[in-house]
Chain A
Amino acid sequence: MTPNEMHQLINRGIDGDLTGAEQRKLDQLLRRSAPARKMHADLSALAHSLDTMTVADPPVHLAQRVHARVAAPSPSAVKRPSILAALRTQLGLGQMVRYGSVFAGGLVLGAFLFMILVNPQGGTQIADESAAGSLLSKADTYTISLTGASGTVVSLPTPTGREVTLQLTCTSPTNVRFAFDPSRVKLENLRQVPQTTPPANVANGLIEMTVTGSERTNLSFGGVQDSRLSLEVSSTMGGSYRTEIPVH
């Protein structure tokens, strides 16, 4: 039996994961091997210590804080009955419906014009939030959550290279595609740590790579020509969106 096999057998024995035959094999090993007995005793004691560690009480305010956040009405849910009642009194129901229709039509037209003329690329907003998950911003830190994957995108201020590091952690093997504008981003200093298999495929403004589950992958590149890096992330696990990351 190799040391590795012995280690596995002892550990599985501690977890109660052995078949009858394997348990007999372990018993036999423990009878004839002092190092095996030592390892078994050490690991059993460690497992027992870990199993019986004190369970702490959660702070009393935890549930209250969650409740306060969950129960708080959203602004859209706030009712203003007094204004509606006043309008109803002044205008009557028929006129309210007529004016309301005109107002709603104006809003739709305005929103349409805004999308066409003012914000054609989606700006810093997530274009397809429902499919993508969410983007959480805390100062310079951006957290991207994709379906089946989660990760952190950080824009790092560097004095010369304006280098950007994307850090993505996936909970399962995930194919990820970063799309960017090649006229604004030059991959002068592409570093992929660790190298994935297959390595990242970089062409025509696309970086395609497979991120192995539970491994963190850093992707650093420089030469960003604009104050904002436009980034589109999609995952074969589902969902895609585009956003813009300010590069300081």
Chain B
Amino acid sequence: MTEPSDEDLVQRSCQGDVRAFDAIVERHQRTVYNLALRMVRDPDEASDVAQAVFLKAYEKLKSFDPKFKFFSWLYRIAVNEALNVLEMRKRFDGLEGIEPAVEADEGADDEAIGREQRIQDSLMMLNVDHRAVIVLKHMQGLSYQEIAQILSLPEKTVKSRLFSARQTLRDILMRKGLGSHDSKRNASAD
């Protein structure tokens, strides 16, 4: 039996079928939560963002235009909610933009985890516009076109931001002594 499409579930939700909306949440909670987590980093805040995203989506479900992809619409809400949280954090706590401390080197078994944490640390040092395109492209696996639709930007701007964001991230990681093994290997070959 084929799974109902997002559009079917949206239609049933609009008709008051709460279980259909539960299915939407079940289907998208992982991606929405991870998008929020990569944007705001704190798991509790990411959970709050994800919850707010679904509640806002439910509230505005009738305004969803089926000619667009549902997940694009949902991700747009998610990005905006995450930006709101970051804005509030910056305003009230002054935490945004502060460079997180680089943790001490861990054992060989923890190398991958340590590296991932440092990449996430570095990601948090990007401005939010750059962070958003990195998260959508690499962690959500979206195309330029889909990102452009979610962020309401021309595709050209998405590319330019993405390339610039990668370069900045690369520079940050280099400063932290976290150049890739591959690149080191290639560099030494030259």
Given contacts A11-B162, A50-B134, A53-B139, contact A41 B183 (CB under 8 A): yes
The interface stretch among B1-9, B83-91, B93-101, B102-110 is B83-91
Minimal beta-carbon separation of A31 from chain B (angstroms): 12
Residues A7 and B163 in contact, CB atoms below 8 Å apart: yes
Main secondary structure of the interface of A (DSSP, over half): helix
Chain B residues near A45 (CB-CB < 8 A): 180-183
Given contacts A7-B167, A152-B87, A214-B152, contact A41 B187 (CB under 8 A): yes
Residue B111 interfacial (CB < 8 Å): no
- By size class, the interface of chain A is 35 or more
Residues B186 and A50 in contact, CB atoms below 8 Å apart: no
Chain A residues near B29 (CB-CB < 8 A): 58, 62-63
For window 81-139 of A, CB contacts with B under 8 Å fall at 134
Residues B163 and A8 in contact, CB atoms below 8 Å apart: yes
Chain B residues near A46 (CB-CB < 8 A): 166, 169-170, 173, 180
Given contacts A11-B163, A50-B134, A152-B87, contact A66 B180 (CB under 8 A): no
Chain B residues near A38 (CB-CB < 8 A): 183, 186-187, 190
A-B contact count (CB 8 A): 133
For window 68-91 of B, CB contacts with A under 8 Å fall at 76, 80, 83-84, 87-88, 91
Residues B116 and A53 in contact, CB atoms below 8 Å apart: yes
For window 1-45 of A, CB contacts with B under 8 Å fall at 7-8, 11-12, 15, 17, 34, 37-38, 41-45
Partner of A62, one of B47, B170, B182, B183: B47
Chain B residues near A51 (CB-CB < 8 A): 138-139, 141
Chain A residues near B87 (CB-CB < 8 A): 152, 167
Chain B residues near A65 (CB-CB < 8 A): 51
Chain A residues near B55 (CB-CB < 8 A): 66, 69-70
Chain B residues near A213 (CB-CB < 8 A): 152-153
Residues A67 and B138 in contact, CB atoms below 8 Å apart: no
CA–CA, A7 and B47, complex, Å: 37
Q: List 12 A-B contacts (CB under 8 A).
A: A41-B180, A41-B182, A45-B180, A45-B183, A47-B138, A49-B116, A51-B141, A62-B33, A62-B51, A67-B22, A69-B55, A71-B18
Minimum-distance CB pairs A-B, first 3 = A45-B180, A50-B138, A58-B33
